[in-house]
């Protein structure tokens, strides 16, 4: 008999959950203007809003917190952090930032600007916003078949090389200051990118002298998929695979709140000496001195430990198995999700869940809200609230209406996951009664974080 893949840890310290009634949650959601970002975490039972900064640190990481060196210049913890990043990612310059978007902001500020175009498999929310804020254009280059939620592909995050070549030809290489790929592809379902594709992107960009930057947030999960799905990698360790992935690139931006097991942290890593010097000059202006950037010494110490833990094979196999379990159970019940499931989350297809709610009545936001009311579970909308666009005063819906249930790392147990599946199954049985929403207030950038909504009559 095949033995269960179990949580590869035991629990030393716990946080109590606060239970609420359905009537209480209905009122809480109303007060939060139908935007779960505005709900207090204490009022959430199982928080699957994000896997970012929400992971549980290990005892070793907490130990690191105690010995962190808080020196302003030349901190020992920075040296340890820098060494770890160099060992895993292989880049010459390691520029510490407080989180991923600060690295994006510095890079886009230096290389972006009006007339520039930045390709990616899919830009996630902050990356797109940072590109567009400079006046540049963020272009997503997934193959058409990868946009079909039901289509099973082993590397559904692969960037379309033919589309990349065409883009470079159309706008001219001098207008493409750098190209990106996001591993795993968060906007498209947490889907992995193959080594072959990373190599091909690198070759294509380098043929035109364009630097290649990897958005590395979930690099360890991506390495695991390469190990288990791509021929030739089964006998390599995730660290060896990560090494190879980044060997094809000129730099990386990373949010260490994901596969760094950190509650905060990030970096910009580069090989180019001149660009790195310019980036450090901005860093000092906005984040801090180059040996801490936006982090405390204790954060860097914990992250240097966490980065290795994220590459542990037992951990990765358990992590991917948990996501797979939730996905398989929902598929069995006829609930449409993005297939195959990705590394950090299950993405529900809200268009299929609520076929009676049109995209501009935000079916994915409706599903997020119903999930909260029914079970106290908080997910996040990845649809027209997050990625809808106003073109000539008319709102254009996003490509997909998804609800992401992101699993924080090492936080919830299998019983929590089963509970989430049960709540969804109940909702699915009663889905006909749900109705749409409209936005009543929104900010100019990243509106999903703070928009206010109300139910349509
Ligand atoms: C998430 C968070 C952050 C992120 C990312 C990729 C591929 C860069 C960043 C920025 C954002 C989020 C979304 C919804 C709810 C809460 C949080 N992704 N690149 O959960 O990194 O946050 O450190 O600035 O996924 O996916 P940072």
Is residue 333 in a domain? yes
Is residue 6 in a domain? no
Number of domains forming the structure of the chain:
2
> What does the pLDDT average to over 391-411?
93
Helices then strands, each counted (H, E), the chain: 16, 16
Same domain membership, residue 377 and residue 436:
yes
Q: Find out whether 145 and 74 touch, Cβ atoms under 8 Å.
A: no
Same domain membership, residue 370 and residue 254:
no
Last residue of a domain, one of 264, 294, 310: 310
Output the residue whose Cα is nearest ligand 1's atom 8.
Answer: 100
Give the distance (Å) from ligand 1 centre to CA of residue 216: 11
The upper half-sphere exposure of residue 450, i.e. CA atoms within 13 Å in the direction of its Cβ, equals 6
Give the distance (Å) from ligand 1 centre to CA of residue 99: 9
Q: What is the pLDDT of residue 443?
A: 86
Give the distance (Å) from ligand 1 centre to CA of residue 258: 8
Output the residue whose Cα is nearest ligand 1's atom 17.
Answer: 50
Output the residue whose Cα is nearest ligand 1's atom 22.
Answer: 100
Last residue of a domain, one of 247, 280, 310: 310
Same domain membership, residue 43 and residue 66:
no
Is residue 1 in a domain? no
Q: What is the pLDDT of residue 129?
A: 93
Instruction: Tell me the per-residue pLDDT of 92-109, one tens digit each, with 9 for 90 and over.
Output: 999 999 999 999 999 999
The upper half-sphere exposure of residue 373, i.e. CA atoms within 13 Å in the direction of its Cβ, equals 17
Same domain membership, residue 113 and residue 207:
yes
CA distance 15 to 413: 13
CA distance 218 to 103: 15
**% the chain with pLDDT above 70:** 100
β-partners of residue 394 are 391
Give the distance (Å) from ligand 1 centre to CA of residue 14: 26
Q: What is the pLDDT of residue 272?
A: 98
Same domain membership, residue 345 and residue 299:
no
Taking the model in full, what pTM does it have?
0.96
The pick from 54, 100, 364, 379 for probing ligand 1's pocket by mutation, whose C-beta has the most ligand atoms within 8 angstroms, reads 100
β-partners of residue 403 are 348, 381
> What does the pLDDT average to over 69-86?
98
Q: What is the CATH number of the domain that holds 436?
A: 3.90.1150.10
Q: What is the pLDDT of residue 217?
A: 98
Q: What is the pLDDT of residue 424?
A: 98
pLDDT range class, residue 393, cuts 50, 70, 90:
confident
Output the residue whose Cα is nearest ligand 1's atom 15.
Answer: 50
Q: Find out whether 38 and 453 touch, Cβ atoms under 8 Å.
A: no
CA distance 131 to 286: 18
Same domain membership, residue 411 and residue 276:
no
Same domain membership, residue 350 and residue 268:
no
Is residue 7 in a domain? no
Give the distance (Å) from ligand 1 centre to CA of residue 126: 7
Same domain membership, residue 116 and residue 72:
yes
Show the domain range for 41.
22-51+313-455
Instruction: Tell me the per-residue pLDDT of 334-379, one tens digit each, with 9 for 90 and over.
Output: 999 999 999 999 999 999 999 999 999 999 999 999 999 999 999 9
pLDDT over threshold 90, residue 391: no
β-partners of residue 346 are 405
Integer Rg of the chain from CA: 21
> What does the pLDDT average to over 188-202?
97
Same domain membership, residue 63 and residue 43:
no
* Higher pLDDT, residue 38 or 387: 38
**% the chain with pLDDT above 90:** 95
DSSP string, 50-77: -SSS-PPPPHHHHHHHHH----SSS-HH
Q: What is the pLDDT of residue 329?
A: 97
The pick from 121, 123, 255, 451 for probing ligand 1's pocket by mutation, whose C-beta has the most ligand atoms within 8 angstroms, reads 255
For 350, phi and psi rounded to 5 degrees? -70, -25
Is residue 13 in a domain? no
Of 213, 244, 229, 179, the closest CA to residue 342 belongs to 229
Same domain membership, residue 369 and residue 450:
yes
CA distance 320 to 312: 12
Burial 431-443 (b: 16+ CB within 10 A, else e): beebebbebeebe
Same domain membership, residue 443 and residue 388:
yes
The upper half-sphere exposure of residue 333, i.e. CA atoms within 13 Å in the direction of its Cβ, equals 18
Same domain membership, residue 301 and residue 252:
yes
* Residue ranges around ligand 1 (CB below 6 Å): 49-50, 52, 99-101, 124-127, 182, 186, 215, 217, 255, 257, 266, 380, 406
Is residue 15 in a domain? no
pLDDT range class, residue 262, cuts 50, 70, 90:
very high
Q: For the chain, what is the mean pLDDT?
A: 97
Q: Report residue 142 as tokens.
A: 């997934």
pLDDT range class, residue 67, cuts 50, 70, 90:
very high
pLDDT range class, residue 195, cuts 50, 70, 90:
very high
pLDDT over threshold 90, residue 392: no
> What does the pLDDT average to over 263-291?
98
Is residue 104 in a domain? yes
Last residue of a domain, one of 268, 289, 310: 310
Q: What is the pLDDT of residue 390?
A: 78
Atom number of ligand 1 nearest to Cα 182: 7
CA distance 350 to 361: 11
pLDDT range class, residue 139, cuts 50, 70, 90:
very high
CA distance 303 to 299: 6
Is residue 289 in a domain? yes
Give the distance (Å) from ligand 1 centre to CA of residue 124: 7
Give the distance (Å) from ligand 1 centre to CA of residue 186: 8
């Amino acid at each position: 008999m095949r033995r269960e893949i179990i949580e590869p840890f035991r629990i030393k310290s716990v946080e109590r959950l606060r239970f609420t009634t359905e009537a209480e949650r209905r009122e809480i959601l109303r007060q939060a203007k139908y935007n779960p970002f505005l709900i207090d975490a204490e009022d959430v039972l199982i928080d699957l809003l994000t896997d970012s900064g929400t992971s549980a640190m290990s005892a070793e990481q907490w130990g690191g917190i105690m010995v962190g060196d808080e020196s302003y210049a030349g901190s020992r913890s920075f040296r340890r952090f820098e060494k770890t990043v160099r060992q895993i990612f292989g880049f010459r310059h390691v520029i510490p930032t407080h989180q991923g978007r600060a690295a994006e902001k510095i890079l886009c500020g230096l290389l972006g600007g009006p007339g520039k175009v930045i390709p990616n498999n899919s830009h996630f929310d902050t990356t797109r916003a940072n590109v567009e804020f400079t006046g540049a254009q963020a272009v997503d280059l997934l193959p058409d078949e990868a946009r079909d939620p039901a289509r099973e592909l082993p590397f559904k995050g692969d960037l379309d090389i033919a589309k990349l070549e065409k883009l470079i030809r159309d706008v001219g290489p001098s207008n493409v200051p750098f190209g990106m790929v996001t591993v795993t592809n968060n906007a498209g379902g947490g889907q992995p990118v193959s080594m072959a594709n990373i190599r091909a992107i690198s070759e294509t960009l380098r043929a035109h002298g364009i630097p290649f930057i990897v958005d590395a947030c979930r690099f360890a999960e991506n390495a695991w998929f390469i190990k288990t799905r791509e021929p030739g990698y089964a006998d390599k360790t995730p660290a060896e695979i990560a090494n190879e992935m980044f060997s094809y690139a000129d730099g990386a931006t990373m949010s260490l709140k994901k596969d760094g097991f950190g509650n905060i942290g990030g970096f910009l890593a580069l090989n180019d000496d001149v660009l790195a010097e310019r980036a450090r000059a901005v860093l000092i202006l906005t984040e801090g001195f180059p040996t801490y950037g936006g982090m405390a010494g204790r954060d860097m110490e914990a992250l240097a430990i966490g980065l290795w833990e994220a590459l542990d094979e037992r951990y990765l196999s358990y992590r991917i198995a948990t996501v797979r379990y939730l996905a398989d159970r929902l598929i069995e019940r006829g609930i449409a999700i993005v297939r195959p499931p990705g590394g950090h989350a299950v993405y529900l297809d809200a268009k299929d869940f609520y076929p009676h709610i049109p995209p501009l009545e935000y079916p994915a936001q409706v599903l997020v809200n119903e999930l909260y009311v029914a079970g106290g579970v908080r997910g996040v909308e990845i649809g027209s609230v997050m990625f809808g666009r106003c073109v000539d005063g008319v709102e254009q819906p996003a490509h997909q209406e998804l609800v992401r249930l992101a699993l924080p790392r090492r936080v919830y147990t299998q019983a929590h996951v089963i509970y989430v599946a049960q709540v969804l199954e109940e909702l699915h049985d009663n889905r006909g009664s749900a109705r749409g929403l409209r936005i009543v207030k929104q900010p100019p950038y990243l509106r999903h974080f703070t928009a206010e909504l109300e139910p349509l009559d």
